[in-house]
A and B are shown apart, each in its own frame.
Chain A
Amino acid sequence: MTAGPTLEVEGLSKSFALRRGWTDAVARRKRPAHAAVDDVSFQLAPGEILGLAGGSGSGKTTLARMIIRLVEPDAGRITFDGVDVRSLSGRALRETRRRMQMVFQDPYSSLNPRMSVGAAILEAGRVHHQSGSEHPEQFVARFLDFVRLPAATARRRPEELSGGQRQRVAIARALAVGPDVVIADEAVSALDVSIQTQLLNLFLDLRDELGLSIIFVAHQLSVIAEVADRVAIMHLGRVVEVGPTAEVFRAPRDEYTRSLLAAHPHPAPLRASSKLREETS
């Protein structure tokens, strides 16, 4: 894989303050806080797909949002391409955000309902002065082609598209700003299984074609098994286990990982999904 920038996260933490009742105030108890993400560290190599798995409330989404600073971390370091992301502001922050794009979970609300597909993709490119964006039609068609949508989709509005198509548009819009890293936050979780498989394959293709690094957040282990090179399992805000996907799924060392694998509808997600992939490709 071509040598792109590396993303490194070290000791990232975030807690959300809970309400302090007046009894707590009287008793001079400290404001209670819930640690959403607690001392998380990992690395993302260029062209790598890192799966981020864990149950609901395990802090996956908060972690993902902290990386592009949609949520401010309380502590820890984020280094991207040698730059300390947490120290950035203004133009430099926007530039870093451009290089790390996010695809959200709900394709029904992640697109502006009043903007056509083409306008949304073009805007993303124009804002960041991406090359080719001076020729609207070709620019839009190029990115629609990346996500396997016909060029005619440009004239559609989000309400005319299916969930899977919208998610492709959201991906195309993210790609239009020219990112190095894409963070897919439960990007396929809201879609049905056959569409999921198509999109997962799309992510794999994009990694190969564009050399993207991808952080793939999902609660479904079968999804992670399908795409991720390495997987990090999160539980109650902490990363309890990291390792190559096959290894972790075959021989989980952490107890929580084991229970997560056992609770999964497919006893062996790795086998089940690799079969699925053969069928669809």
Chain B
Amino acid sequence: MSNALALVRSRRWSIRRLQNWELTTGFFVVGLLLVASLLAPYLAPYPPNQVNVLVALQGPSWHHWMGTDFVGRDVWSRVLFGLRIDVLIVALITYLGLVVGVIIGTVSGYVGGWFDAIVGRVADTVVAFPFIVLVLAVVAIVGPGLKGVAIGIVIVGWALYARLARAEMLSLREQPFIMSTRALGYSHLRTIFRHALPNLVRTSLVYSTVDVVVNMLVLAGMSYLGLGQQAPGADLGSIIASGQGYLLSAWWITTLPGAVLVLFGFGVSLIGDGITRGDLAQGRL
């Protein structure tokens, strides 16, 4: 018995670790970028905003891994600091949206009735509204800067999670193990947070890996348009924007930070795929 169980356990481990190269690679790539951005002050060879026109527009070299921009700032240092602020903000807003959305959705699906109807319609409306337009509108109100973009994304972000969680809750509600919590005389709060939520948050977590990438691109996109990070602060979008006038003469200013952005998105997507695949291998999703 215990031997057989040990066998089952070890097999599950091998599935997770060996077959799931997506998860392994994803965590490796994202982990590397996260560590690099968190340690930016230590890893960056130059202060990110240090201007030195004598070395302006130099190509990648041992002194400047990603070259320098039009005022001689080290692109690599700026990428590290830029990535840092992007990752920080994206993680914060994505998972704030997830937490708020999942709680609202779960409660709404559990309670049902008019509360559910209202939450459902509000979420539908938010989701139906063009995402970028809404973010632009918020930026117009709050003023250009990462804050406005972040607020805009959160206002939209919760709704999808709310819809996901609500749909899951509706099917969970009919599951005997949720019904049995009522039969056992558990409180509503206990049923929702201890029994329902842990069983439905997974779909939202998987979806959040897509969301992180999308939000990252929106954030960078807004900065690129000049509505996000303001000069001289660095974030990936603004670095890319600053190099676009030199694309032919100094390709590295746009291309290399762009590659870092792509790499990050690639890694996060791999994690999402890995989680999904791991679940399929275990027969649950």
Please name all residues of chain B whose beta carbon is closer than 8 Å to the beta carbon of A123 when the two chains form the complex.
186, 194
Decide if B184 touches A173 in the complex (CB within 8 Å): yes
CB distance from B204 to the nearest CB of A (A): 15
B contact residues, range = 10 to 19
Which of B180, B190, B198, B199 has a CB less than 8 Å from the CB of A127?
A: B190
From B90-98, B110-118, B126-134, B171-179, give the one contacting chain A: B171-179
B185 at the interface (CB under 8 A from A): yes
B242 → A minimal CB distance (Å) = 48
Which residues from B are CB-within-8-Å of A94? 185-187
Cβ of B195 within 8 Å of any chain A Cβ, yes or no, is yes
CB-CB < 8 A to B199: which residues of A? Answer: 112-114
Determine whether the beta carbon of A127 is less than 8 Å from that of B183.
no
Chain B: interface secondary structure? helix
- Contact assessment for B180 and A98 in the assembled complex, using a CB-CB cutoff below 8 Å: no
How many A-B residue contacts, CB cutoff 8 Å?
56
With A127-B190, A160-B5 already in contact, the answer to whether A110 and B182 are too (CB < 8 A) is no
Choose one: B179, B195, B198; the contact of A104 (CB below 8 Å). Answer: B179
What residue of chain A has the Cβ atom nearest to residue B283's Cβ?
A: A159
Q: Is the CB of A109 within 8 A of B184?
A: no
- Determine the interface band of chain A, counting residues with CB < 8 A from chain B: 20 to 34
Query: How far, in whole Å, are A128 and B190 apart by their CA atoms in the complex?
Result: 13
The answer to whether A124 and B176 touch across the interface, beta carbons within 8 angstroms, is: no
In the bound assembly, the distance between CA atoms of A102 and B179 in angstroms comes to 10
Say which residue of A104, A114, A128 sits within 8 Å of B185 (CB atoms): A128
Interface residues of A in 71-92 (CB under 8 A from B): none
Residue A111 lies at the interface, judged by CB distance under 8 Å to chain B:
yes
CA distance A114 to B186 in the complex (A): 17
Residues of B within 8 A of A98 (CB): 184-185
Once the chains are docked, how many angstroms separate the CA of A19 from the CA of B91? Answer: 46
Is A95 part of the contact surface with B, judged by Cβ < 8 Å?
yes
Find out whether the CB atom of B183 lies under 8 angstroms from the CB atom of A68: yes
Interface contact B185-A102, CB-CB below 8 Å = no
Does A111 contact B190, Cβ atoms closer than 8 Å? no
Q: When the two chains form the complex, which single residue of B177, B179, B182, B194 contacts A111, counting CB atoms closer than 8 Å?
A: B177
Nearest-CB residue, chain A, relative to B186: A127
Q: Report chain A residues within 8 Å CB of B185.
A: 93-95, 97-98, 127-128, 177
- In the complex, chain B residues whose CB is within 8 Å of the CB of A105: 176
Q: Is A273 at the interface (CB under 8 A from chain B)?
A: no
Assembled-state Cα–Cα distance A109/B176 (Å):
6
Residues of B within 8 A of A (CB): 5, 8, 175-177, 179-180, 182-187, 190, 194-195, 198-199, 284
